[in-house]
Amino acid sequence: MRRAVSEKAAIGYVRSTDEGTAEPVRHPVIVVGAGPVGLCAAIDLALGGVRVVLLDEDDTASVGSRAICFAKRTLEILDRIGCGDAVVARGVSWNLGKVFCGDDLVYTFDLLPERGHRRPAFINLQQYLLEEFLIDRAREVDGLSLRWKNRVVGIDPSPDSVLVEVETPSGRYRLVCDYLIACDGARSPLRAMLGLEPRGQTFKDRFLISDVRMHAGRSTERWFWFDPPFHRNQSALLHRQADDVWRCDFQLGWEADPMAEKAPERVIPRVRALLGDGVDFELEWVSVYTFACQRLERFRHGRVLFAGDSAHLVSPFGARGANSGIQDAENLAWKLRMVLRGAAPDALLDTYDDERVPAADDNIRNSTRSTDFITPKSDVSRRFRDAVLALAKDHPFARRLVNSGRLSVPFSYAQSPLCTPDADAFAGAMTPGSPAADAPVRSGDSDSWLLAHLGGEFTGVYASDGGPLPPHVVEDMLALERDATPLRTLVMVPARAALHAGARPELPAVEDVDGLFALRYDARPGTYYIVRPDQHVCARRRSFDAAWARAAVARATCRPVHADAGYGRRAAAVERRA
Amino acid sequence: MGLCIEANLQDPDDFYEALIDAHRGLTPQQSELLNAKLILLLANHVGDLDVLREALDRARAGLAPAEGA
């Protein structure tokens, strides 16, 4: 059997100058665990100018079940941190899923039925390949110290710092940090050291993953079977990854012997039955897994913040593990940056819980529902599942009940205290809290995407009518950019309107080339959106007002809304009107 | 509009006979499957989740969970 091992192995341990100092060296942020979540968090922080140390106990690919499906929102985050193109070029794009019952196709879903988005609904890529791209990126970024074979063996959080003890091939050393992000996985040692336990449900079922390498003329669609002829009374999944590797997933039932089922002589006949005779394949990786849907009660514990599997676990049906973990990382990165830079109070970090705990609950709810369908827990549950499948072939309504995994969609922070509630009427999906939808835009002769112009800092998107902006509006917009928490402006002009009409060159403008911005954001001339550093909408209005914009940014960073001298009275007037 | 609990069937006796006839000759397991399909078909016809929840509550009323369940 081939071993699927990341090239992390080639990097290895290098002794840090922090080892062997008399006093522990202090860093702003330590991230523990260099999986996809820890790598994204560390890169995002470093790109924002926060020096970060990333510790990993190992120097090879992680052991255990690996993520293969990365959702559109994850790709957009990877775009923002500078490795989206590499990941998408290597991965296999897909939007279509098919569900079979027995021999019959009962349900087909298209996860991205509309055009005008830079990224597909999903790409499939082996987790170790994603990690390689992230490691390459991590090594390019200034201010990121990536340390392999650095195992955290002790943690001592205090009110103003976190002390960790780290074991390396050279011995033990200590580090101090302002904040620590624990991305150390489902069996998080840090979680155990702090005496924390996730709560939730475990499921009595076992599944076999076998990743096989083969040349096959199959499509890249996700194929899921209930009760297929080649694996009676259980479910199966076939899904393509990069480099001619295919994921074959077989439900085994609770009674299956996990050790025996991993033996190649047991696995090969199952895979052959799925693929059919005459297909040559090679086993790449085999694992038998069970799963749970559970989470920590809170993800923030003082200066220690849990992200990804250490904070919450779901079943794999729905691609909600790694994708939600990467969204945790992005949510934390900008908040930590603001707090460390003194632009926001520590209370901003509490909103990590306000936003990501409900996101985890949404994932757990969807994952639990899928699991109840795939692995019914009672006779009556099984009977209804079978009834749905029996009806699905000839009854369109029943196809919508077939649940082989509801695939990850980004969570909207609609209930977040960081959102400014709408005072004006808007239609469409871009309510405050939503991840900003993409749209094609053009600047000059160059085509690009809206999301490429958003993120990193707060950005105000102003829909102009294509005519010149009044000089005082331009002055106000430029002044916002000079604030302690800068609010950049992007002027959106209608298709075929002259760019930069009346605007200064320092006020960037793009053309809503297909009118999709206007459509997706329900924008008309004057409409103004404020988008957070993580590309989530936090406020919108039918007209631009600098005092209102400052108040919205203050709210989105947990600062007192009327604190800044010079705009307090005007902001108060706006509040009263609202 | 909530769940209708007044008489609404065009011919109650005909319906009841048809319901029992539909199960004729089936094993208990087959009957359970038939009932499940029937519930799903009718639920889709109703459509309104509030009405369906009210029906579920009324159907469940008075049934105490068994010991250990």
Q: CB of A542 within 8 A of CB of A527?
A: yes
Contact between A398 and B32 using a beta-carbon 8 Å cutoff: no
Give the C-alpha separation, A145 to A46, whole Å: 10
**Structure-block tokens of residue A242:** 């990069």
Contacts of A245 (CB under 8 A, 6+ apart): A126, A211, A212, A213, A284
3-state helix, strand, coil in chain B (%, to 5): 60, 0, 40
Predicted local confidence at residue A510, as pLDDT = 93
Of A383, A390, A401, the CB nearest to B32: A383
Predicted local confidence at residue A566, as pLDDT = 38
Predicted local confidence at residue A568, as pLDDT = 36
Contact between B33 and A386 using a beta-carbon 8 Å cutoff: yes
Give the C-alpha separation, A454 to A537, whole Å: 10
Contact between A391 and B32 using a beta-carbon 8 Å cutoff: no
Distance between A383 CA and the closest CA of chain B, angstroms: 6
Q: Which residues of A touch B39 (CB under 8 A)?
A: 384, 387
ipTM of the complex model:
0.94
- pLDDT < 70 regions, chain A: 1-11, 60-65, 498-504, 562-578
Distance between B57 CA and the closest CA of chain A, angstroms: 17
Domain boundary assignment for chain B: 26-60
Of B32, B37, B44, the CB nearest to A390: B37
Number of A–B residue contacts, CB under 8 Å: 27
Predicted local confidence at residue A10, as pLDDT = 52
Nearest 5°: the CA angle A61, A67, A70 is: 125
Contact between B41 and A386 using a beta-carbon 8 Å cutoff: no
Contact between A387 and B44 using a beta-carbon 8 Å cutoff: no
**Structure-block tokens of residue A557:** 């960073």
Distance between A389 CA and the closest CA of chain B, angstroms: 10
Contact between A398 and B40 using a beta-carbon 8 Å cutoff: yes
Q: Fill in the DSSP letter of residue A453.
A: G
Predicted local confidence at residue A541, as pLDDT = 97
Contact between A388 and B33 using a beta-carbon 8 Å cutoff: no
Q: Please report where in the chains the tokens 């808007």 appear, as a residue.
A: A426
Predicted local confidence at residue A113, as pLDDT = 74
Q: Which residues of B touch A403 (CB under 8 A)?
A: none
φ/ψ region of A147 (left if φ > 0, alpha if ψ in -120 to 50, else beta) reads beta
Contact between B40 and A386 using a beta-carbon 8 Å cutoff: no
Q: Which domains does chain A have, with CATH numbers?
A: 7-90+119-198+296-360 (3.50.50.60), 440-577 (3.40.30.120)
Q: Which residues of A touch B33 (CB under 8 A)?
A: 383, 386-387, 390
Give the C-alpha separation, B41 to B51, whole Å: 15
Contact between B33 and A391 using a beta-carbon 8 Å cutoff: no
Contact between A398 and B33 using a beta-carbon 8 Å cutoff: no
Closest chain B residue to A400 measured between Cα atoms? B44
Distances (CA, A) of A160 to A279, A435, A501: 60, 33, 51
Predicted local confidence at residue A467, as pLDDT = 85
Predicted local confidence at residue A65, as pLDDT = 46
**Structure-block tokens of residue A140:** 């390019």
Amino acid code (one letter) for A54: L
Q: Which residues of B touch A390 (CB under 8 A)?
A: 33, 37
Give the C-alpha separation, A236 to A101, whole Å: 10
Give the C-alpha separation, A3 to A5, whole Å: 6
Share of chain A above pLDDT 70, in %: 93
**Structure-block tokens of residue A377:** 């827990």
Q: CB of A211 within 8 A of CB of A167?
A: no
Give pLDDT tens digits for B14-69: 999 999 999 999 999 999 999 999 999 999 999 999 999 999 999 999 998 887 65
Predicted local confidence at residue A496, as pLDDT = 79
**Residue A441: what are its φ and ψ, rounded to 5°?**
-135, 165
Contact between B44 and A386 using a beta-carbon 8 Å cutoff: no
**Considering the entire predicted model, what is its pTM?**
0.91
Q: What is the DSSP string of A6-61?
A: -GGGGT-----TTTT-SSPEEEEEEEE--SHHHHHHHHHHHHTT--EEEE-S-SSP
CA atoms in the 13 A half-sphere facing the CB of A157: 17
Predicted local confidence at residue A2, as pLDDT = 38
Q: Which residues of A touch B (CB under 8 A)?
A: 380, 383-384, 386-388, 390-391, 395, 397-398, 401
**Of A51, A40, A52, A47, whose CA–CA distance to A87 is shortest?**
A40
Amino acid code (one letter) for B43: A
B contact test, residue of A227, A391, A400 with most B CBs within 10 A? A391
